[in-house]
């Protein structure tokens, strides 16, 4: 479980929905991203950056707490 859900289990649906929106929203909003930022969101470099972002976010959300000695 993420630190958020450990702190408040009722937030689990929002964590799942939020992560889902980050993944699908990237593809859905690609035309707007292309128009506003002038980048191709499906270019290899952009996909790599998005993957890196999602990986780091997931690591932060689901990091296990370090035990206190």
pLDDT surpasses 70 at 65: no
Give pTM, 2 decimals.
0.73
Binned at pLDDT 50, 70 and 90, residue 67 comes out as low
- Say what percent of the chain tops pLDDT 90: 57
CB neighbour list of residue 18: distance below 8 Å, 6 or more residues apart: none
Of 14 and 67, more confident: 14
DSSP state for residue 2 in the 8-state scheme: -
Orientation angle between helical segments 12-28 and 30-37, nearest 10 degrees:
60
What number of CA atoms fall less than 13 Å from residue 37's CA on the CB side? 10
């Amino acid at each position: 479980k993420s630190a958020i859900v450990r702190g408040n289990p009722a937030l689990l649906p929002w964590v799942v929905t939020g992560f889902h929106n980050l993944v699908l929203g990237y593809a859905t909003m690609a035309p707007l991203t292309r128009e506003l930022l002038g980048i191709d969101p499906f270019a290899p470099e952009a996909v790599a950056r998005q993957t890196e972002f999602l990986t780091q976010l997931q690591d932060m959300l689901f990091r296990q707490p370090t035990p206190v000695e």
